[in-house]
């Protein structure tokens, strides 16, 4: 249930698929009892497609793709069922609402046009031109209202997501977003063996920056650090403010050697670019831990944090990487 509360798109896919499956499944049973075996089997196939899409979204987290696929298949299915089995075209109205809730805006608009045209232009779906014209008018209104509602809902959701998951000062992810990312990386490591690195980055002597230059200057240093990291990290990496002057960089799909090379590059960029208003250099200390398929994900951040303390104890302005071989007692340090 926790995932349904945090992933709105997944919740929509699950709710729509469940409700629609119950409704269509009931019709399948009714048609089977009436002897319409072919229609019942088609209804059952539609139910299986929706439940399969819901299971795919739940397992992989790709709820947007699942929503697009389910909406596309339901649209195609309805266009087949109406002329072949004589199903009422009124189902198109409820389907359009579902399309705009599940699919992306472009896909939903395309599917709605296809659905309206497919039903409205079919020669045998309407008794007279007036009924056909009425369908086009009502369908266009339903599509328009559904689009506006879905667009406003999506926009408000994005705004709420930014407020809930972004640090207001630096605009990077916050602690809540970091916890979700760690859970995702741990699941990927467990399921697919995908490696990942986590680096805890802490500004050296940041209290002195605030004391000497003021808190506004200190805030600017935090903003500048976030910008430098954003310019340096890969598109697949993600960056978070963990608290105060402490940040976390998550690097999925990265081996220990790749982590070391990436952080050497990052630290060089920070040394070259991070300054206070009067030009005083500001350095960082970095503690790093890798995550493998057999590692304990709940301790991943704590292990990197311990490496950070080791980097500070060794003189600051350095990277301290957790050894992958448990035998050595010392961590690797890179200045």
Residues with catalytic annotation? 245
Q: Helices in the chain by DSSP H: which ranges? A: 2-6, 8-33, 37-60, 63-85, 91-102, 105-120, 129-165, 175-192, 206-213, 215-232, 256-273, 300-313
Q: How far apart are CA 9 and CA 15, in angstroms?
A: 10
Radius of gyration of the chain (CA): 27
297, with CB counted inside 10 A (0-12, 13-18, 19+), is: middle
Read out DSSP for 281-319? Answer: B--EEEEEEEE-TTS-GGGHHHHHHHHHHHHHHTTSSSE
């Amino acid at each position: 249930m926790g995932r349904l509360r945090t992933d709105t798109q997944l919740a929509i896919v699950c709710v729509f698929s469940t409700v629609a499956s119950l409704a269509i499944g009931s019709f399948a049973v009714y048609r089977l009892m009436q002897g319409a075996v072919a229609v019942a089997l088609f209804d059952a196939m539609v139910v299986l497609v929706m439940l399969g899409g819901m299971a795919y979204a739940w397992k992989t987290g790709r709820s947007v793709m699942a929503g697009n696929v389910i909406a596309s298949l339901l649209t195609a299915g309805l266009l087949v069922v109406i002329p072949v089995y004589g199903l009422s075209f009124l189902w198109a109205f409820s389907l359009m609402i579902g399309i705009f809730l599940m699919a992306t805006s472009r896909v939903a608009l395309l599917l709605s046009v296809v659905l309206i045209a497919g039903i409205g232009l079919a020669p045998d779906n309407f008794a007279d031109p007036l009924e056909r014209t009425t369908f086009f008018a009502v369908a266009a209104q339903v599509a328009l209202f559904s689009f506006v509602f879905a667009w406003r809902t999506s926009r408000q959701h994005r705004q709420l997501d930014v407020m809930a998951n972004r640090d207001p000062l630096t605009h990077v992810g916050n602690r809540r977003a970091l916890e979700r990312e760690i859970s995702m990386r741990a699941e990927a490591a467990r399921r697919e063996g995908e490696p990942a690195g986590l680096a805890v980055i802490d500004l050296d002597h940041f209290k002195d920056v605030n004391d000497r230059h003021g808190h506004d200057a200190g805030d600017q240093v935090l903003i500048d650090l976030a910008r430098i990291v954003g310019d340096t990290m890969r598109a697949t990496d993600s960056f978070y403010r963990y608290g105060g002057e402490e940040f976390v960089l998550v690097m999925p799909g990265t081996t220990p050697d790749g982590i070391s090379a990436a952080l050497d590059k990052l630290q060089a960029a920070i040394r070259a670019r991070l300054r206070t208003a009067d030009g005083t250099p500001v350095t960082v200390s970095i503690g790093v831990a890798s995550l493998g398929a057999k590692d304990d994900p709940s301790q991943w951040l704590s292990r990197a944090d311990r490496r950070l303390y080791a980097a500070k104890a060794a003189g600051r302005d350095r990277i301290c990487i957790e050894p992958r071989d448990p035998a050595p007692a010392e961590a690797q340090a890179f200045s």
